[in-house]
Amino acid sequence: MPTEHIVKSFDQELEKLKRTIVQMGGLAESQLEASIQAIVRRDADLATRVMQADDRLDAYESQIDVDAVRLLALRQPMAGDLREIVAALKIASDLERIGDYAANLSKRAIALAQVPAVRPVSTIPRMGRLVQEIIKDVLDAYTERDVQKALDAWGRDEEVDDLYTSLFRETLTYMMEDPRNITPCTHLLFVAKNIERIGDHATNIAETIHFLVEGEPISGRRPKGDSSSFEVVEPDDEGAAEGKGEA
């Protein structure tokens, strides 16, 4: 029965594509976790390993692109199967970007290990854990085709944005207190921004899962990004001059 054979083989290829996405997601998750560890432990060796492993995520994305385009060309899928393949392309692109941000976090970890530690760094593991949970949940939602789980994760990105905005204010205050804090605090601001962007990519994946399962985009908009872009923090002249100020 050649038709059944072809169908079975298509399903197998589709399953393989899904498995590759899940594996890639697991790697992106562990890259994020390791890069946060590298920052917290001031571990430049770990950071270097994360940067070196980023190629593997790029390779996963290329593989998924090739497999997806081949499936589109040879199998001419319809409706659900077509969405499955388009979703794989989109999710792979978001995971690759998450990997890029993790590699960038590791570059910052190397710079941060060379300068004195500053207190706002303590918020980073909290932000990191939150984003890791969101990624884990969207990957589970992908495996289980669980739209509600994807939507829950999508909504939680707001907590990340809130943490980022409060860290932004706190870090600016530290910079104003002592010019020696400026270099570490600047890297820290970009660290926090990168984690916040990783959260954005995780919500993109949640949106793709909604489209995949329901066949239409999420209705309603999540407010994008953080509000720190508008923040103006005035230096407290006294604190700045004397190197103190509220902690």
User: Counting contacts by CB under 8 A, is residue 73 touching a second copy?
Assistant: yes
Q: How far is the CB of 132 from a second copy (least distance, A)?
A: 21
Q: Cα dihedral sign for 131, 133, 136, 138?
A: negative
**Burial bucket for residue 138 (CB in 10 Å: 0-12, 13-18, 19+):** buried
Span from 12-20, 78-86, 138-146, 150-158 in contact with a second copy (CB under 8 A): 78-86
CA-nearest of 105, 104, 61, 84 to 11 is 84
Among 16, 62, 145, 155, binds a second copy (CB under 8 A): 62
**Burial bucket for residue 163 (CB in 10 Å: 0-12, 13-18, 19+):** buried
CA-nearest of 149, 112, 115 to 133 is 149
What phi and psi values does residue 129 have, to the nearest 5 degrees?
-60, -45
**What string marks each residue from 165 to 204 as x (binds a second copy by CB under 8 A) or -?**
-------x--xx--xx-xx--xx-xx--x-----------
Among 1, 78, 220, 246, binds a second copy (CB under 8 A): 78
Q: How far is the CB of 16 from a second copy (least distance, A)?
A: 19
For residue 31, the one-letter residue type is Q
Among 18, 42, 49, 83, binds a second copy (CB under 8 A): 83
Q: If binding means CB under 8 A, how many residues of this protein chain bind a second copy? A: 46
Q: How far is the CB of 81 from a second copy (least distance, A)?
A: 10
Report the residue number, 149 or 167, with the smaller CB distance to a second copy.
Answer: 167
Among 40, 86, 147, 151, binds a second copy (CB under 8 A): 86
Report the residue number, 166 or 186, with the smaller CB distance to a second copy.
Answer: 186
Tracing tokens 């209705």 back to the chain, one arrives at 219
| CA gap 103, 36 in Å, rounded | 10
Distances (CA, A) of 132 to 37, 50, 61, 145: 12, 16, 20, 19
Residues that bind a second copy (CB under 8 A): 62, 69, 72-73, 76-79, 82-83, 86, 89-90, 93, 100, 104, 107-108, 110-111, 114-115, 172, 175-176, 179-180, 182-183, 186-187, 189-190, 193, 217, 224-225, 229-235, 237, 240
